Structure formats: structure tokens, C-alpha cells
Structure 1
Amino acid sequence: MRPRPIRRRGTLAATAATLLALAAAQTLAAAPSAGAAPAPVAAASMPHSAPASAVTAAQNRAARTIARSLGDTTWRTRLQAAALKSGDVAVTPLAAGADHHLGSELAAADRAIAAAKGLDTKVGPLLRLRLGDRSMRAALAAGTAPWVTAADSDDDARTVTAYDSRGRAHELDARKAPSRPVYVVDVDSSKALAAGLDVLRDELVKHGVASAAPGAVDASPRTGTAATTSGFWTTKITAVELSDDEEPWIKGAAEIYTLVTGFGQDGKVRVDPVDMPYLDYDGTVYRPNQILVNWSNYKYNLADAVMMEEDGSTNYRDLANAIATALLTITDQGAYIPLVTAVLNAIPNDWWTDDPDYVESWYTLARSNNGTYYGARGNGWMTVEPYFVEQF
């Protein structure tokens, strides 16, 4: 049995309500006696560009365009060879070298996707094409004409629409891979996530929320913190696993990142995104030895972690704006306050409804933690240990 891509959804409405209630309860319990903890922040009422709809529309246009192009035998053979050789194909530059008009149409779809995700067009082509399932390789190699579909953002979809070279639509079972080869048009999530986290950090800083890569140290840490003249203390992930249910066959590997939140040395809330590019499949134990928390950037020896997924629809500028709007209302009250509830509430409502990015969360991770810790959602665990990073 092949490993399954990580599933985000489950019974989402119940999960969201339960976790937000738990978060609120933990926040109240952690509040100092001198004052009440901040109430959970309502979902951001910012202008929202519905990135999921825009990305899906661009992928669908690209899928139909590629399907029609397969009437050209030379191009179909070239694309087939690339798909069989590498699995994932950067389809826009490949098309540009074969047909100028096709390349231009796909380049326009790439620009639309980048704009919907809040990314600069300098990120380059994001569209990729892959075979829907490994079981289709034999039929494709034997010359069976493939159909083309777009990766569906809905994990609960029962059917998907694929197109043939004449532009005709065909309904396929989303849970059972067809015998006919089907190309899936998707977003290069690894590339989009790397660029997106840079945007997220920059936008958070612009909005007044400190943010840095996990290995970065803020300037001039105060005396008595985790940083010293010779290095700094961190929490390192030595093992991690996520558990999930079966997903549609058109789904590719997940791209996971974690938002580490807490109070910075200045007493203000900070968010440090951590890319986890290795965490692709459920039921698999990964041993990354990756730094999760850099304690030199935090006032308290406690922080929270909210694990998310880049699913193709995330708009990183919108996400930064929403998180900043929520977290900047929370002030340091002299004792640590968990921030998971504010982060969850900051996620725009339509992201919960259409295709949630939320995977798992860990409350009040401590600098001294050493062992295995299960997430609040029951969807994963991490083994962590304190780790000192020496500076030369």
C-alpha cells in the first residue's frame, strides 16, 4: 500500500469548535490573577480575495488548455516522456518550448495563481503536471490517450472532472483511481511554500509582528535570556508523525509548515514560521533533527506551535494580515498566555469552509521539554529535545 498524503479535513466543523473551545479554556486558565486573559479574537473581517476560488479557476483553465493540446501527437509524446521520467513536470516552460500559444496561456495561469497566493511573479512558474496514480503508468506507456484534470481543493469530493483532447468533460470517481491515465494539474506547493513563508515573515514585520526563520537570532537579546555570547538554546524535533484518513487519488504529497508563536524579548507577540518540507505522508515517522523554536527570541520559556499545510490556495499576504490583526490585540500580562486560539480564529472563515489549512497544534511547549508530545487535535505527535546551538 502506498503512503497517503496527509488529510487536513476530517469532521471539520466539530474539530474547529472543539479546538477553539479548548484553546479558550487553556487561555483563561493560563491568565495571571492580575487581569483576565484576552477574549478569543473573532475571525478577521479583512477584505478577502477568495484565493481558493482564484487558484482553482486558474488550474481548471490550465487543465482544459492542456487537454486540448494533446491532440498534437508530437507534443503529447513529449509530455508523456517527461511525465514517465520525472513524475512531476514543470509544464509551463516545457510547453513554451513546444508551442508559443500554449506556453503563453499557461504562463497567464501561473501569474493568476501567484497573484491569488500573494506572491511576486518573480517566484516563476508554479503549475506542475503529474500522473494521478502510479497504477496508470503502464497504460500511459502503452499509448492510451490521457485525460487531464485539476487537483481538487475539496478533500471530501466524490467526483472529479477530467477533460479529453476534444474538450469533452468526464466525471471520475475521486476515491478510486481510473484505469485510464489521467494527468493532474496542480501547484508546485514546495516552491510556493518557500516563497510564501518569506512573504509571510516580511508582511508580519510590516504589520508590527516580529518574525524570523528558526535559526535567526534577534539583535541585542536581553541579559538572562536563552541567548549567550557563545550560542543559544533551541527545541529540536528528532521525530514526528501525522495520522490521517484516505484522500482522493488526485491529491499529491502535503507541504507542511508550523507557526511558532509566543512573546518576544520586547514583550510583544511574535510569529516564527518553520518550513517542514519533508513531512509529506501520513503514517510515516520522519526524523528531521530540525530546529523548531529558537528560545533566544522569546521572553518566556514557553511557546505554542500551530501546524498548517500549503494546499495551493493559501494567500500569504492575507494570512499575515489576519494573524497580525488578531495577535496585536494581545498584550503581555506578566505571565505566558497561550496564543493558539488567536491564530485559529485569525484564519479567514472561507478557509475553514472550503479547504482548511489547519493540521495540528501544540500548546505551551517548554524550553525544557524532552520526549514525545501529542497534538491537541490528536492528529500527530512530535519527539523533541533541548539543543544548544554554538556560535563561532
Structure 2
Amino acid sequence: MTRVLTAAIATVAALALAGGTALATPTDPAPPASSATTVSAVTDRLAAQVAAALADRGLRDRAASAAASAPVDLLAFTADTALAEATRTANQSVLAAKGLPPNSGSLLRLRVATDTMRIGLSRGEVPLVAAAPTDDDATSVTAYDPRGGRLTLDPATPPKRPVLVVEVDVAKALPLGLDLMRKTLSARGLTAPRPLTTTRSSGGYWATKVNAIRLSDDAEPWVKGSAEIYSVVGGFGLDGKATVTIVQMPYLDNDGTTYYPNQLLAHFSAYKYNLADVVMMEDDGDTNYQQLAQAIITALLTIADAGTYIPLVNAILSAIPASWWTDDPDYVDSWYTLSTSTTGHLNGARGNGWMDVTPYWVSEL
């Protein structure tokens, strides 16, 4: 998504760190990677190595055939090749750079950059190999030629020659990272279960359901894949502590497309106030979840219930130094002060999207 002020990105990224149902159970988080070992650096180096290996016609044909139908798991694909050790090392470096446990599995994949490039692959054209940039504002894309050398490509206009992209599978990484952050925050008492007295006394609770949703512009370079979108819903629990819940929206792949998910977004069963904020974000693949969790711990512990509703985005913005953030995560849009009676068409505060919502009564079983 198009960048906004660094402070706005800090606000949203900080919100994205807590709440929700636990997913996988990673253990022994990897230590934070040094600044020199970024995801971008690792994937760019691996892209050059993959390109060199594809000088072999047999391996190149295998890669083209495999990637033509779906993204290829690089660890599995290179297991019986000379690239095996380089790919394993790169995968471990990516896990470390993202603050994920070393036993989290394979996160690297190989993908055809655009659908139209599949035609060239099917004709046997020699593809270039590039790493997906983590910065939407990248002014160039470096690609490697299996026949030697490297080229600089325009991120706004795809080349006629096919390009294979080395990238992080964010759809795999995001649930692992969010689960790690939830566990880290829970250990500090920031995501402890809230007493559901409202549900017990009334036989259910009100939620906000998204009937339809649309984003206006993602401004993504051609070399990048579909967006990985999730929303963060924040409010104050019955105990007066700030609480946030992450709602993944895996269907939101493209801008300019209206989706009809009928998805529950805000749950008011354990809120002290009849209000909640929603912030939508995209993960570009470079997020260090462990560092993010440590930052949010400090931020959430500074938020106190003042007796009236305070938008969490503003409180977190004042607690997190803007200089801590780099390119990720991306701020998409935000919606303030949803309540149990909110209904109809809601434009985002940033004007980059809209939602059509309605109250929804969740009955107790």
C-alpha cells in the first residue's frame, strides 16, 4: 500500500500486536537479527544464487514448469540440488530477521511475477530472477540473468521477459508472527482473557459484521504479489486495560475490487465502553515480530483508563517513537469509534477504502 507518514505507520503497526485466538505454538524465538541481515538482503542474495543455478537448462525447465501453476516452496524445490545449503541458510536468516523461531519451517518461495509472464515461460524463454522488494516506494528492481550479469528494472512497468521472484511467503509468516506476539504480550498480562459478564447476563453480545469492503489503491510494484491484509480492533476491556484483537482478511487481495465477506470485525462482549477503533494494515514481509512485540509492550503499559473512551491509535502513537519504524508494516486505512449501533457505508479516515457494516447479535449457545 502507498506509504503514509512514518508516525501513522507507527500507530497502526503498534496496534497490530495483541489479542485474538492463538494459532501455531512457536517456541524458542530466534534472537533479533542484526540490521545488516535484513529480509531484503537475504532474498536478494538468494535471487542471485537461484539465477546462477538456472543456467542449467534442466533445472531452469523444472523451475519454470513448477512455478507456472503456483508459487514453489524453495526449500522443497532445491532439496536435491546444489542450491540446497544456500536455501536452508537463507531460510534460517529470514526466520531470524523476522524474529521467528528457527523451527518455524520454510518461508521462502519462488513465484512468476505476473500472470502474463507465464506465456513466455511456456515458450522456453530464459527468465530473470529478482527478489520482491519490501518497500513499495522502491525506485528500481534488481534482477539477475542466468546467463550472467544483472539488470535494473522499472518497478512501475513489468518487462516483456519473464521474471521469477524470490520472496517470503507472508501468508505463512504472518500467523506465526502474530501468534508469537500474542504470547509475548500475554506473558505481560496485556492479552489476558476479559470477564464476559455481558454475555453471561444477556445470553449473547453485539458485534460489527462487514457485509462488503473495497480498497481504492494499493500502488504495489508489479514484482510484488497480492496484499496480506489484516485489521486490528482496539478498545478497553472491562478491567480498564487496553485490549486489541487481530482479524485477518486473507480475501482482500486486490484494490478496486469489492469483497463480500460477512465477517465479524468488532466484538463488544468484553468492552468497557461501547466503542472500538479499527485499523487496517498490510504486512510486506520485512516485519521483525519479536522486536515489534517488545515495542508494543512498552506502549500498551502506558495506556490508562481515564474514565472516557480514548482512541487507542492516538495513545499508542504518543508512546512509540516514530524513528523505530522503517518500511513495515504498511498502513492501509482506519475507522474510528465503531459502536454496537454502527451501520451502513463507512469511508476510511484515510480515504483509501470503505466498508459496509451492520450490527450482528452473537447468541450464546
Aligned to 1:197: 178
One-letter amino acid matched to 2:309: Y
1:68 matched to 2:62: no
In structure 1, C-alpha distance between the alignment counterparts of 2:57 and 2:40, rounded to whole Å: 28
Which 5+ residue runs of structure 2 have no aligned equivalent? 12-30
Note the C-alpha offset of 1:226: 5.2
Picking from 248, 266, 276, the partner of 2:239 is 266
1:230-270 alpha-carbon deviations (Å, 9 max, x no partner): 33321111111111154321011000111211111111111
In structure 2, C-alpha distance between the alignment counterparts of 1:78 and 1:285, rounded to whole Å: 37
Aligned to 2:220: 247
In structure 1, C-alpha distance between the alignment counterparts of 2:136 and 2:36, rounded to whole Å: 13
Any residues of structure 2 matched to 1:64-213 within 5 Å, and which?
64-86=48-70, 88-96=71-79, 98-99=80-81, 101-210=82-191
In structure 1, C-alpha distance between the alignment counterparts of 2:128 and 2:161, rounded to whole Å: 8
8 Å CA contact 1:237–1:288 kept in 2: the answer is: yes
Provide closer, same or farther for how the CA distance between residues 276 and 69 of structure 1 changes in structure 2, counting only shifts above 3 A: same
Instruction: Tell me how large the CA RMSD over aligned residues is.
Output: 2.5
One-letter amino acid matched to 1:156: D
In structure 1, C-alpha distance between the alignment counterparts of 2:140 and 2:66, rounded to whole Å: 27
Q: Which moved more, 1:324-333 or 1:114-123?
A: 114-123
In structure 1, C-alpha distance between the alignment counterparts of 2:64 and 2:298, rounded to whole Å: 47
In structure 1, C-alpha distance between the alignment counterparts of 2:2 and 2:331, rounded to whole Å: 7
One-letter amino acid matched to 1:262: G
Note the C-alpha offset of 1:174: 1.4
Any residues of structure 2 matched to 1:347-386 within 5 Å, and which?
349=322, 353-386=326-359
1:136-194 alpha-carbon deviations (Å, 9 max, x no partner): 12211111111100001222223211111245211111111111111011111111112
Any residues of structure 2 matched to 1:11-90 within 5 Å, and which?
12-13=4-5, 16=7, 54-86=38-70, 88-90=71-73
SS at the partner of 1:297? coil
1:230 matched to 2:203: yes
Note the C-alpha offset of 1:338: 0.9
1:12-33 alpha-carbon deviations (Å, 9 max, x no partner): 33x857998xxxxxxxxxxxxx
8 Å CA contact 1:64–1:167 kept in 2: the answer is: no
Any residues of structure 2 matched to 1:277-356 within 5 Å, and which?
277-344=250-317, 349=322, 353-356=326-329
TM-score, normalising length: structure 2 = 0.87
8 Å CA contact 1:235–1:387 kept in 2: the answer is: yes
TM-score, normalising length: structure 1 = 0.81
SS at the partner of 2:141? strand
Picking from 196, 221, 228, the partner of 1:221 is 196
Note the C-alpha offset of 1:93: 0.7
Provide closer, same or farther for how the CA distance between residues 148 and 59 of structure 1 changes in structure 2, counting only shifts above 3 A: same
Provide closer, same or farther for how the CA distance between residues 151 and 287 of structure 1 changes in structure 2, counting only shifts above 3 A: same
8 Å CA contact 2:195–2:270 kept in 1: the answer is: no
In structure 2, C-alpha distance between the alignment counterparts of 1:306 and 1:169, rounded to whole Å: 40
Provide closer, same or farther for how the CA distance between residues 354 and 53 of structure 1 changes in structure 2, counting only shifts above 3 A: farther
Provide closer, same or farther for how the CA distance between residues 256 and 345 of structure 1 changes in structure 2, counting only shifts above 3 A: farther
In structure 1, C-alpha distance between the alignment counterparts of 2:360 and 2:57, rounded to whole Å: 57
Aligned to 2:229: 256
Note the C-alpha offset of 1:52: 9.6
Provide closer, same or farther for how the CA distance between residues 18 and 127 of structure 1 changes in structure 2, counting only shifts above 3 A: closer
Provide closer, same or farther for how the CA distance between residues 333 and 59 of structure 1 changes in structure 2, counting only shifts above 3 A: same
In structure 1, C-alpha distance between the alignment counterparts of 2:318 and 2:150, rounded to whole Å: 39
SS at the partner of 1:331? coil
One-letter amino acid matched to 1:221: L
Q: Which moved more, 1:48-57 or 1:296-305?
A: 48-57
Note the C-alpha offset of 1:66: 0.8
In structure 1, C-alpha distance between the alignment counterparts of 2:210 and 2:137, rounded to whole Å: 31
Provide closer, same or farther for how the CA distance between residues 304 and 227 of structure 1 changes in structure 2, counting only shifts above 3 A: farther
Provide closer, same or farther for how the CA distance between residues 283 and 119 of structure 1 changes in structure 2, counting only shifts above 3 A: same
Q: Percent identity?
A: 51
Note the C-alpha offset of 1:121: 2.8
In structure 2, C-alpha distance between the alignment counterparts of 1:18 and 1:84, rounded to whole Å: 35
